[in-house]
Each structure stands twice: as C-alpha cells, then as structure tokens.
Chains A and B, each alone.
Chain A
Amino acid sequence: MRTLPFLVISLVVAGLVFAGALAVGNDYIFFAGYVVLQYVVLSTAWNILGGYCGYVNFGTGAFFALGAYSTVAIYNLIGKNELSHVIPIPVLMLVGGIVSGIVGFGMGYLTLRLRGAFFSIATLALAVVLETLIVNWDYVGGSRGAYILRPENAPLIGSYVRYLFLTMLLLAVGSLVIARLIERSRLGYGMATIRDDELAAEASGVPTLRVKLIATTISGALMGMAGAPFPYYIGYLQPDSTFALDYAINAIAMPLIGGTSTWIGPLIGAILLDSLQQLITVTISSAVNLLIVGCLLVAFVILAPNGIVGLFQKYFQHKDDDFVGRRPASLDEPPAVAPSGSAPESPA
C-alpha cells in the first residue's frame, strides 16, 4: 500500500478512535489514552534508531524532557498569564521537535562514529548531563520544578484534555506514517544493512554515518514532540521524574516486545504494555508495574526475540522466530569496527 492511502486510512481510524473516546462520556479515557498515544510515539521514535539501525538509545527521557522544557521556557517567556493558552499545542510540538532534533543531531555527530556499545553508554551520559543542566537552570524552575496552568477548555473540542488527546493522536499517526515510509524506502534498506553488518554496509556504498545521523535526528525530534504537551498534561513538571530512566525502559521494552523490524511492533507494544501498566498501577502499585515491564522485557528478549510480530509470523506464516538477522557463526570473524571512526581496531 502506498503512503497516501495508508495516511488516509490511519486518519480515518484515528477519527474513529476519537469518536469512540467521546462516546464513552468520561474524560478519564482521554487522560489514560493520552499516555498510551504518547508511548506509541516514543516507541516508534526509539525503534527508528534502535530497531531499524540497531543502535540502542538510553536517553529517551532526555529528549522527551527537552520537548517538555521547551514548552516551559516558552510558557515563561510569553508570561504566565491567560495569553499562554493561546499558543496551540502543534506549535509547541514543532518547537520541541526542533530543539530535540538539533540535540539529537549533535549527539549523533559526537557519538555515532563509535561502536554501538559506546554509543549507548554515551546516550546515558548525555541524558544525565542534560538533566544536570536543566536542574541548574532556574528560568525553567530548576530542581524546584515548574508549574503550568492548564486552561479549562479548548475551542470547539471541549475540555482541554480532549485537545491534548487529539493532538497526540495526530502525532501518533504522523510518527507511524514516517516510520513506515522510512522502512519501505532506500533509507530503510540502508538502516537494515547498518544493523546487520556496518562494515559490509560501508563497503557496499552505504553512507553509514549519514544514515545514522538521519535516524538519530528524526528519532530525537519525534521524542521531543511527544514531550512538548506534557507540561500541560501534568501541570507540574519535576526534573527527576521527567528525565527518569523509566521512559527509557518503556521506550525500549515496547518495541522489543512488540517487534522491532516493522512499524507495527512499537504500536502493538505500546498499546499492550502501557494499558497493562496503567491497569497494574491502579490495581496493585506503580513499583510492581516496573517490575513487570522488566520481567516481560527480559522474557521476550530471551524467548521471543522478534516480539509479538515475530510470534505471529512464526505461527501463522511459518517464518523462523529464532532468526533475527544474526551473522553467520565464524570463530575468527573480525570484530565490528565503526568504519569511519576511532574505535579500537584489530587485525582483520
């Protein structure tokens, strides 16, 4: 299916989802649904760099927080008065996306020449550095946090949370369309070769650094866009909870559980896992919630490496679930070296 029909169908489905939520008659569905949609965006964004390219980013929380804090900065800039609710959420998303995209590009430029493992550790480092910077920046509240006044209503739609839900719904559709577009394009092929064997990819003519930079920038930008409305959603923003590793583990677990090789995986993973988490948080406790995420992640990664999508393919299409794109076993295979980079080398 070409992209345009897909986009149209997705918008129709989104419309149905919104109508369905309205029909429930209780605003709680919008509060809960917002979080699910937010995670659809975050996991789809993570998967572009993680699932497609094979580079694990632990800094999802940082990009998310950048988007949120961009909104806080604008809110403070415009003045904490009635005028601020005039700024439409899509504009805030755009700003958040640009800020996060630029940071994503910068981080990529500094770290993507390194081997995958170093890159991942560097993302952790970056997340902490960013958090420390924000915590020490009083303009956005620093460690005390930031308050945002959520307007009561949005024009035409009704309560403000419905407006938040709607914009996040559209962002989710957008991110899925982007992921699918990438997956089926030449870029997607290039990303797959990087994931499979970066050395051979370079030798085949794939500009690996450029492809990885594109992935990091898009991924970071989408995460920032998901974070931009968050201050309005939550009302009070605190650095340590915003930057938390909890975002990182969700953004990693959802695609890995859903399936990393295609855009459907993160969608399934986000819907299933976040719904489960909300259920558990409400019925048992939020600590148990994270325990379950951790256990599910470990279980899936060991037993069903291709995720739910993979299991589906195995049982209904008879594709081998064990096969995730591993290199042929070879004892003296040269270690992977970032081709254009400064990682340690050994005799090939």
Chain B
Amino acid sequence: MIFSFDLLTNAIVSGILIGGFYAAMASGVSLSFGILDIVNIAHPAFIILGSYAAYMMNHDFGLDPILTSIIMLPAFYALGAGIYQIYYVAFEKRGQESLRGLAFFFGLLFITEVTLVLYFGVDYRDVEASYIGPTLHLANIDIPLRIAVPCLVSLLLIAALQLLLVRSFIGRAIMAVAQDQLALRLMAVNPIRIKRIAFAISIATASIAGAFLIIIQPVEPSVGRDYIGRIFAICVLGGMGSLPGTVIAAMLIGVVESLTSTFYGPSWAPAVSFGFLLLTLAVRPAGLLGR
C-alpha cells in the first residue's frame, strides 16, 4: 500500500466521524453497564430494531430516519422499562444476575435477531435521505454527509444525556443509585424506579443509534453481532459510565479501525476493537477516564 498523506488524513477524519456514531451506540451501554452494572449484550439487537423501525417508516412513508427514531423514543423507552422490570424481578432480586441474567440477555439477542429475520428476511435494507450520498470536499479531505450528519447528531445527543445526568434530579439520582442505594432509600427515592428509568433511557438511545446505523450502512439482522464487541470495548475503554470518556474511546477506536482498514485491509478491522478491549481489561480495567 502506497503511503500518502491524503490517505492518512482521510482515514483519520473518517475514523473520527465514525467514532462519533459509535459513541451513540455505546452511550446506552455506558448507562446500563457502566452505571447500572447490567450486562445487556442484547443492546446491539435493539439498535437493529431501531434501524428496522427507521427503515419501515422511510420505506412506507418517506420519513427521515432520524425523525422516525425520535418519534419511536417512547416505544423504546417503554420496552426498556418492561425489560428491566422482568430483569429485576427474575434476577436482581434473587441475586442471579451474573449467570442467568446474562443468559437472559443473550436469549433476547437471539430472539430479537431471529424475529427480524423471519419478518424481514436476510436481505440488506437501507434508507434514503437527502444527506445520504453527497460528500463534502474540504481541501483534500472527503467528508461523506451520511457519516457526518449522524456523527453531529450523536454528539448532540450525548451532550444532552450528559446534561441530564449532571444537572437534573433524575440524572443525579441515577448516578447515585450506582454508588449507594441505601442512601437513596433514606431520601425517599425508590432505587428500583430510578434504575428502571435509567435502563429505559439506555434502550431509548438504541432507537436513535439504530437510525444512525442504517443511514451509514445497509442493515440486516445479524449485523448487530459485529457491534457487540465494539460497544463494550468502548464502554470499558471509556471508563464505564463516563459519557465524555465514551466519546473519546469511540473516536479512538474509530480512528484505529480506519487506519487498520486502510493500510492493512478491512478483514483485520473486527479484531481491532476486540483487541483493544482485551488489552484494556488486562492492563487498566478502569479505562481511560475511569471512576
């Protein structure tokens, strides 16, 4: 591969942009795993669900995918609340979350994926929007809008989430529930309700992330599996529950993947995020900005 400065710059820029999108996907897990300690490995499946919701609205009504995802927020929120309730009663209360809780989410991953296959088939689906297609050219850098727009919206989304966590009562209760449930109870706040809200928000982010996904690439049900590792790698690397950390980690992984793909070939890219994950777990499980 001939090394060229342009190639390098483009790889880095596209890595950063993709990283912004990855951050949206990982933000939900930052909430559920990083803060609530729930290993929801089915999260990518919910993202795919969001993608198909966006696809249906786009295909049948011509609705913009990001708009769809916002409309679908209440539905995803309710889904998340329902799943948490089951999880709590069946596993957290009994103290079995480490084995059976994990298996529960694994089962949900498969159920969601296969249901989508049965309903939609395994063909790739995509969406149409005005920003899918055109590319900005700045100097020698190409910025495809279909990646740039999700990246931008994603950063806005995460900024909003961070504001929620840091400024609002619910947000601070969520941060508190991770640290001291007893204290929350003494303040007459029901920790279970707070956790349910937090988990519901986490699944709601999947709706939006799903829209981003199908804007950036065509989607079929098993695509989610490729992202499990990336999402958890980002969450761990970013410090488990730190949203700013998640953004930095996501962009880091995005850039490294992009560089690997450009200079070594795309078949090595999946190993990048997972390799990162293993490295982080081995060396510094608290991540870059860990708590």
Contacts and interface: CB of A to CB of B under 8 A. Distances in A.
Interface of A: 50-51, 54, 56, 58, 110-111, 114, 116-118, 120-122, 124-126, 128-129, 131-133, 135-136, 143, 195, 245, 248-249, 252-253, 256, 260, 287-288, 290-291, 293-295, 297-298, 301-302, 305, 322, 324, 326-327, 329, 331-332, 342-344, 346
A293 B103 contact: no
B125 interface: no
B99 A56 contact: yes
B102 A294 contact: no
A118 B280 CA distance: 11
Contact of B278 (A110, A256, A287, A298): A110
26 contacts: A110-B278, A117-B37, A117-B39, A118-B236, A124-B274, A128-B271, A129-B274, A245-B225, A249-B106, A249-B107, A249-B110, A256-B100, A256-B103, A287-B114, A287-B117, A293-B110, A294-B107, A295-B111, A297-B106, A322-B94, A324-B100, A331-B185, A343-B285, A344-B285, A344-B286, A344-B291
Interface string B36-77: 010101000000000000000000000000000000000000
Interface string B87-114: 0001001111011101110111111001
Contacts of B115: 291
Contacts of B110: 249, 290-291, 293-294, 297
B229 A332 contact: no
B233 interface: yes
B23 interface: no
A294 B277 contact: no
Contacts of A298: 104, 107-108, 111
B22 interface: no
Contact of B96 (A110, A129, A248, A324): A324
A124 B229 contact: yes
B204 interface: no
A305 B100 contact: yes
B4 interface: no
Q: Which of A121, A248, A294 has the most CB of B within 10 A?
A: A121
Contacts of A129: 271, 274-275, 278
Contacts of B1: none
Nearest to A58: B106
A113 B101 CA distance: 21
Please name the 8 residue pairs, one residue from A and one from B, whose CB atoms are nearest each other, closest first. A294-B110, A326-B95, A132-B271, A125-B274, A297-B107, A298-B107, A294-B111, A291-B114
B86 interface: yes
Given A125-B232, A287-B118, A324-B94, 6 more contacts: A122-B281, A125-B229, A129-B271, A252-B106, A302-B90, A305-B94
A54 B278 contact: no
A203 B41 CA distance: 32
Nearest to A257: B103
B267 A135 contact: yes
Contact of B181 (A50, A288, A331): A331
B194 to A, nearest CB: 15
A305 B103 CA distance: 11
Nearest to A195: B99
Best-buried of A291, A301, A331, A346 by chain B (most CB within 10 Å): A301
B108 to A, nearest CB: 7
A136 B268 contact: yes
Contacts of B228: 124
B282 interface: yes
Given A122-B278, A295-B111, A298-B108, A329 B95 contact: yes
A230 B290 CA distance: 44
Nearest to A260: B99
Nearest to A135: B267
A20 to B, nearest CB: 33
A293 B115 CA distance: 12
A273 to B, nearest CB: 13
B144 interface: no
A295 B109 CA distance: 10
Nearest to A128: B274
Name the residue in A118, A133, A256 with the highest tally of chain B Cβ atoms < 10 Å from its Cβ.
A118
Nearest to B183: A332
Residue among A125, A288, A291, A324 with max Cβ neighbours from chain B (10 Å): A125
A346 to B, nearest CB: 8
B99 A114 contact: no
A128 B270 contact: yes
Contacts of B98: 54, 56, 116-117
Nearest to A327: B95
A331 B182 contact: yes
Contacts of B37: 117
B285 A294 contact: no
Contacts of A121: 39, 41, 229, 232, 236, 277, 281
Name which of A131, A135, A245 has the most chain B CB atoms within 10 A of its CB.
A245
A140 to B, nearest CB: 15
B195 to A, nearest CB: 14
A121 B276 CA distance: 12
B133 to A, nearest CB: 30
A117 B271 CA distance: 20
Contacts of B109: 294
A131 B187 CA distance: 50
Contact of A132 (B106, B268, B277, B290): B268
A45 B96 CA distance: 21
B267 A114 contact: no
Contacts of B277: 121-122, 125
A125 B278 contact: yes
